[in-house]
Chain A
Amino acid sequence: MITRHRLRWRIQHWLEARLPGLLTCAQFQEMVDAYVDDELGPVVRATVDFHMKTCPICQRYVIAYGKVRDFAADTLSAEEAEALDVVPEGLVTAILAARGVGGARGGGPNS
């Protein structure tokens, strides 16, 4: 049977013969970070955009990739906003004590 991959490969092969400089999915993958971080120059970006137009799987991949990066940032900044609003008193004491001891003798943090 003609698998979906085989069909995609045939189409891509056909396109590549006519439009040299097309990216394979593997080459596209190498540019995914620069793409979502908006670090591509206009020419390369156009090549990447073209691959996405002809390859819905890569298109979906890169959209998800960017979203996950944003979710990670959102998750951890939300966590920071909920963080405690005082440093535990025992820790403050330990830090202040370590400073007195550590500065002179390089000793441990606990007094």
Chain B
Amino acid sequence: MLEGGGGLEAGWETDRMGAPAKTSPAATPADDAAFIAALKAGDERAFERLVRDQGIRLLALARRMMRDEATAQDCLQDAFLSVHRSIAGFEPHGSLGGWLHRITVNACLMRLRTAKRLAETPIDDLLPDFNGNGLRLGEPRTEIRDPETELEVNRVRRFVREKIDELPDGYRIVLLLRDIEGYSTREAAEMMGIAEGALKVRLHRARAALKTLVEPLWDEMGSS
């Protein structure tokens, strides 16, 4: 089955063989014209190479989005099935890596939508409060400072990670798309299937809620 590529001797086959793939798309031959041509021609070794090289960072993406390993792996399978079906029509005006990233996000969103996990649930108790005159209520919290030691860096990361996962999916995913995966408001709104204004509101709520959730750590760590 893996011999389907026949005598194709493109550069992508030889120059990177044996080199361990890293998560950076730059470490793969993903944008090499010969490699893309091989993929489009249905070369099976090229496809397997794509799965092995790009699959690492795409699986990490699916894990971030889905929060559990089994579903993340299902999403990666969905994504590569989409890739297989649509690679012939791939127009390289963007990067192949970016295209794959988008396909994987969409595969994850599809599963989240099907599982009704993208709804906007109320999180009012995590949002700031104002009085009738528009004045902010509540006492100021301990000042959030940068972690100073490696121990603190790890502690902050662990805590923040935990709290991101406590956000309802409808907010968490918007936060991921905008602040982590680097999509614009317009792109993220399109992917989520909501208006740009609605996306901005959700992002604001997600960030504000995360702030509320992580602040107690600085009460413990102190504000130096």
Contacts and interface: CB of A to CB of B under 8 A. Distances in A.
Given A91-B55, A94-B77, A73 B214 contact: no
B218 to A, nearest CB: 8
B146 A67 contact: yes
B1 interface: yes
Main secondary structure of the interface of B (DSSP, over half): helix
Contact of B208 (A12, A65, A76, A103): A65
B76 A91 contact: yes
Interface in A87-108: 87-88, 91-92, 94-96, 98-100, 102-103
Contact of B81 (A12, A13, A55, A99): A99
A92 B52 contact: yes
B179 interface: yes
A102 B59 CA distance: 20
A103 B85 contact: yes
B18 to A, nearest CB: 13
A24 B55 CA distance: 49
Interface residues of A, number: 52
A14 to B, nearest CB: 13
A5 to B, nearest CB: 6
Nearest to B85: A103
Interface string B83-106: 011000000000000000000000
Interface of B: 1, 20-23, 44, 47-48, 51-52, 55-57, 59-60, 63-64, 73-74, 76-78, 80-81, 84-85, 128, 130-131, 133-137, 140-141, 143-144, 146, 156-157, 160-161, 164, 175-176, 179-180, 200, 203-204, 207-208, 210-211, 214-215
Contact of A98 (B52, B80, B130, B179): B80
29 contacts: A9-B133, A12-B133, A24-B130, A24-B133, A25-B136, A26-B135, A26-B136, A32-B204, A60-B140, A63-B143, A65-B207, A68-B207, A68-B211, A71-B156, A71-B214, A72-B164, A72-B175, A75-B157, A76-B164, A78-B157, A84-B60, A87-B55, A87-B76, A92-B48, A95-B51, A95-B80, A96-B1, A102-B81, A109-B81
Given A26-B134, A80-B23, A94-B73, 6 more contacts: A24-B133, A60-B143, A63-B143, A87-B55, A92-B55, A99-B84
A76 B81 CA distance: 26
Given A98-B80, A109-B81, A92 B179 contact: no
B134 A85 contact: no
B84 A57 contact: no
Given A83-B23, A85-B20, A99-B47, A25 B134 contact: yes
A19 to B, nearest CB: 16
A81 B23 contact: yes
A103 B181 CA distance: 29
B135 A65 contact: no
Given A63-B144, A79-B161, A98-B81, A27 B203 contact: no
